[in-house]
Amino acid sequence: MATLRILGAGAAQAVTERIVDAFKRTTGCDVVADFGAVGAMKARMEGGENVDVIVLTQVMIDELLSADKVEASSRVDLGTVATGVAVRAGTTVPDIADGERLRSVILARRRVVCPDPAIATAGKVVMALVEKLGIARQVESRLQFYPNGYAAMRWLAQSGTDDDLGITQATEIRANKGVSYAGPLPEGYQANTVYSAAAARCASEAALARAFLSRYADATGRTWLREAGYD
């Protein structure tokens, strides 16, 4: 039995897993998918890991195209994802409609959990956010980093309290029923990210990779992308 191997951004996990389930049912092939921070996923591919499909930010896919690591004709743009704010489900959803209110909300929290800025897009957004709000030094000790947004949201859902806040990509928040989505970062602080997918140049299952990528672009795939939080 053929096995399709996927490395994907955490922001694409929910929708990709839906496509994986449907793809396995209709093709009969096996699929092995691993998700995490985009920097870590890109490094694994560049390090020579066997992969057929890779899902990253548009910028990183462009970098892989320039390095001749992925097939240009196979590329599919999934859409744009906003960075958002989350609280543990069942707690009061804060008002983050503008910068001043968001600043007050962050300062009132015991911890702010987010992906590691060294490897994750949303983590970098958080660091830029607290700098722009002028509170970087005040909240430095309260920031708690995780390998990816899913891990941060899992902690918030299971161990977080009313005093904790999460910031990561909206698709990673919406996929976790244990947290509530307070909304996207307000205008002027938002950093929308476009995600793309492509087949690896050295794909062992090139035909399957292209067939899988086409699922993102068909009518069902587009509906699932919108439901996951893609614009």
DSSP state letter for 166: E
Average pLDDT rounded to a whole number, residues 18-44: 94
Class assignment of domain 83-184? Answer: alpha beta
For residue 99, pLDDT beyond 90: yes
Residue 174 reports pLDDT greater than 90 = yes
Domain ranges for the chain = 3-80+194-228, 83-184
Length of the chain (residues) = 231
Percentage of the chain modeled with pLDDT above 70: 100
pLDDT of residue 228: 92
pLDDT > 80? residue 1: no
Residue 231 pLDDT > 90? no
- For residue 161, name the pLDDT band (cuts at 50, 70, 90): confident
| One fold for 3-80+194-228 and 83-184 | yes
- Write down the CATH number for the domain with range 3-80+194-228: 3.40.190.10
pTM: 0.87
DSSP lists the bridge partners of residue 55 as 8, 197
Q: Would you state the pLDDT for residue 127? A: 96
Mean pLDDT computed over 170-178? 94
As a whole number, mean pLDDT of residues 174-192 equals: 94
Asked if residues 111 and 164 have their Cβ atoms less than 8 Å apart, the reply is: yes
Neighbours of 207 (CB within 10 A): 12
Alpha helices in 28-120 (DSSP H): 38-46, 58-66, 99-107
Q: How far apart are CA 147 and CA 116, in angstroms?
A: 6
pLDDT band of residue 25 (cuts 50, 70, 90) is: very high
Average pLDDT over all residues of the chain: 95
The reported pLDDT for the residue numbered 67 is: 96
* Helix segments in the chain, DSSP class H: 13-27, 38-46, 58-66, 99-107, 121-132, 136-139, 149-158, 170-174, 206-217, 219-228
> Residue 135, class by beta-carbon neighbours within 10 Å (0-12 exposed, 13-18 middle, 19+ buried)?
middle
